[in-house]
A and B are shown apart, each in its own frame.
Chain A
């Protein structure tokens, strides 16, 4: 029986359940130093002086570093989506002359104990001459540096004759919509432990995540190390969500310090630091308009938006803006299109990606717009969606632009089919009738729907090596990374399925740069698609070799042999001769290995729908999400339990993004969301049972398993669906213009409504 499609229990759980995990903070070495970073307390200003004499005089001080000490280290470069002209906006490890956000590193201290390191950091005294901060991304560009404005780039994607579409429109619908600044905020903060190995001359960095191979190359280049003198090691990682594992100033500092001080250096971020220093995301303002005919068909879509990038451009370059431009059309045909994204520097924490970058924002904008179009024309919003959907027979469907360096070609999909099945499954008419009944009884309840197209499986390559050892164990070595999503289990299932063995003897390696020369890591819902495909190919190869060797040893034609658990058997001779796997490895001198590479220049595009039911409590301006449904076509689910787990977790983050989570800055650029009591993540009290329906109607031809990614499906249209449900509860389509819908913002909408009848 195939292991693909089975909800097997996770292989990685036991150490995590027994307290034997090895997260970054759990790594400690003898003679280790602790680094504490001194950060700017001012949003924008000129750093006129930095007094370190008192810090140096502290008896526990080993070193104090400022910008002068790292003047030879170049700024942190772009891992993804660079466009010409971005270089001047990169971040140095320490502020150089100017500070550009509260939390920007300006110095670091090193001591033998973390408490002492904090004491010493308090003695570093910066003098900063404050300047007027830029906090509004839509304000006219100001000066970033001599000759540079705060508009780092403008990204445009367009096709078709937009003017003609608006000229012949039956109606034009225009909206201004705002998506709040929020981010992944994993439960484990960042951490880095750099260890200079005197004997080998190798620098090892523990605490790596997401993209260890890329970061290894970047660090080697920045520190002037030959590539073979640095390795990165991923332990357990306490959540990723896009933000963890990118290369940050603190990673570079710990490595540089370990090299120069000749001792292991440990840095563990505290939560305050995390909320001002790690990547934030999403914050953007959209001005969108659509030209429609009398049936609600969108003839043209024109969006201009301003992305609140923060103080610098980090490793993602303009990824979020690029994806927002590309994914706004979503499931709809849209014959004429233009999206213009302004990348604006502001004096806030810099941004990167957060789970479903560009899609959470774009789905909110598009689905808001479609609901308002339907309302304006007096049509059912579901009918309007159906009229605009790309049909199943139009697949593959090409958009006339590229994203992340790949042409946008929707591979497979049946959007109308999924919507029909989903609405049938959730009992749409009953849900609506129930809401109407409760409203008549005086409750403020509503339903809202958001459809979305996701993207997954970004290439260009992934490698896998599978080795059968002389003890019969099977090692799957990959360049993938694990951020808690179940990589080991899924890749073991794929390997076991390809080989015909069981799961128990398979061990999956990920995130170790000394085990495999290259690897792309874990982002963009890519591991099951890309690494999974490489493992599929390697397993097929190894199976062929196993049977060939066994055929020789058993003097039987390989096509009469099969792998059954841990033995090779003769198919038509039950009870006949057989060999165990270890014997085969020994038969060829100890081990048998197969290597494979999977490459692609295309992404695969899964899709789905979110449906929220909310209740507004008028007195307290609270919004309760009573029910939340997700329907999603994943192509093929390797482990449905894990796919559902990804979706449920994503949906909870989406509910947080829609109602609670926001990085707020005051008028001077001081961050006000600096503890988990200010930055509100949902608890179980805010999250209903997330009701997930998986579909496998549109497997992709782009990889051997037909799988699409699942990591971002839970969050994509959550903001859109909840906004629509709140509209519905208010009885005003298009009322919600800004996420998150905080009590204050809901109050502003409620006071516009007539008072309830008593």
Chain B
């Protein structure tokens, strides 16, 4: 399995060229080849959503996508959310509303929520609950995650 391929894609605005085995997952490529370990792997079979990143603005399970499939794509990860010391409104809201405990699922939830709110800034609570049910959290019982996303949505509409 050593026939490596070149992949060129954009991560958080920076162009990257990496050389990977065709079987390498996008998540592993981000973590190991790009050094962006903020994207976490919780199951590697597409259920937990901890590895959620945005690929061309769509929330995607990066464990279920091969790195070679990201050729030419715009990928966004949790590392690209804040601007310097200035947190993204979602990051700030998760902090303000105790939307995380162990923090392992947090990057996936943040990227999922960014994707949801960019697509539908006025999303109603029932639809938001439905959309957030794509990811698993084992610590918070979700209610502070919901609270955080609602608060960020309100902030982002200002």
A interface residues (Cβ-Cβ under 8 A, vs B): 9-10, 12-14, 16-21, 23, 25-26, 28, 115, 119, 184-189, 236-241, 270-271, 483-486, 641-642, 645, 648-653, 675-677, 681, 683-685, 687, 689-690, 714
Contacts and interface: CB of A to CB of B under 8 A. Distances in A.
10 contacts: A9-B98, A19-B38, A19-B79, A26-B31, A28-B32, A119-B1, A184-B138, A236-B102, A684-B142, A687-B143
A666 B69 CA distance: 38
Given A19-B39, A187-B104, A484-B101, A649 B129 contact: no
B43 interface: yes
Contacts of A18: 38, 78-79, 81-82, 87, 91
Which of B45, B133, B139, B141: most chain A Cβ within 10 A?
B141
Nearest to A244: B102
Contacts of B94: 13, 17
A649 B139 contact: yes
Contacts of B77: 19
Given A25-B37, A645-B98, A115 B1 contact: yes
A23 B24 CA distance: 21
B37 A16 contact: no
B104 A23 contact: yes
Interface in B27-77: 31-32, 36-45, 47-48, 50, 77
B123 interface: no
Contact of B105 (A20, A187, A236, A648): A187
Given A18-B81, A684-B129, A690-B143, A271 B45 contact: yes
Contacts of B82: 17-18
Nearest to A237: B102
A236 B45 contact: no
B120 interface: no
B43 to A, nearest CB: 4
B5 interface: no
B87 A17 contact: yes
A239 B104 CA distance: 8
A18 B37 CA distance: 11
B10 to A, nearest CB: 17
Contacts of A687: 141-143
Interface string B128-152: 0110111111111111111000000
B110 interface: yes
Given A186-B104, A188-B42, A681-B138, A642 B98 contact: yes
Contacts of B32: 28
Nearest to A26: B37
B1 A189 contact: no
Nearest to B146: A684
Contacts of A188: 40, 42, 102, 104
A186 B138 contact: yes
Contacts of B102: 186-188, 236-240, 483-484
B103 A16 contact: yes
Contacts of B31: 25-26
Contacts of A641: 98
Contacts of B138: 184-187, 239, 241, 649, 653, 681
Nearest to A676: B47
Contacts of A12: 103
Given A17-B87, A26-B37, A115-B24, A690 B141 contact: yes
Nearest to B142: A684
A687 B144 CA distance: 12
Contacts of B43: 271, 675-676
Given A18-B79, A236-B102, A649 B38 contact: no
A557 B138 CA distance: 53
A19 B45 CA distance: 21
Nearest to A22: B37
B107 interface: yes
A238 B133 contact: no
Contacts of B23: 115
Contacts of B129: 684-685
B118 to A, nearest CB: 18
B104 A238 contact: yes
Contacts of A185: 138
A676 B101 CA distance: 21
Top 6 A-B residue pairs of the complex, sorted by shortest distance between their CB atoms = A19-B38, A484-B102, A16-B103, A238-B104, A652-B141, A676-B47
A683 B40 contact: no
Contacts of A681: 136, 138
A648 B143 contact: yes
B103 A21 contact: yes
Given A13-B94, A683-B136, A19 B105 contact: no
Contacts of B101: 239, 484-486, 645, 649
Contacts of A9: 95-96, 98
B100 interface: yes
A14 B95 contact: yes
B53 to A, nearest CB: 11
Nearest to B37: A26
A271 B44 contact: yes
A238 B136 contact: no
Nearest to B87: A17
A720 B36 CA distance: 44
Given A184-B138, A676-B42, A676-B45, 20 more contacts: A14-B87, A17-B87, A19-B81, A25-B37, A28-B32, A115-B23, A187-B40, A187-B48, A188-B104, A271-B44, A484-B102, A484-B139, A645-B140, A645-B144, A648-B140, A649-B139, A681-B138, A683-B142, A684-B146, A714-B141
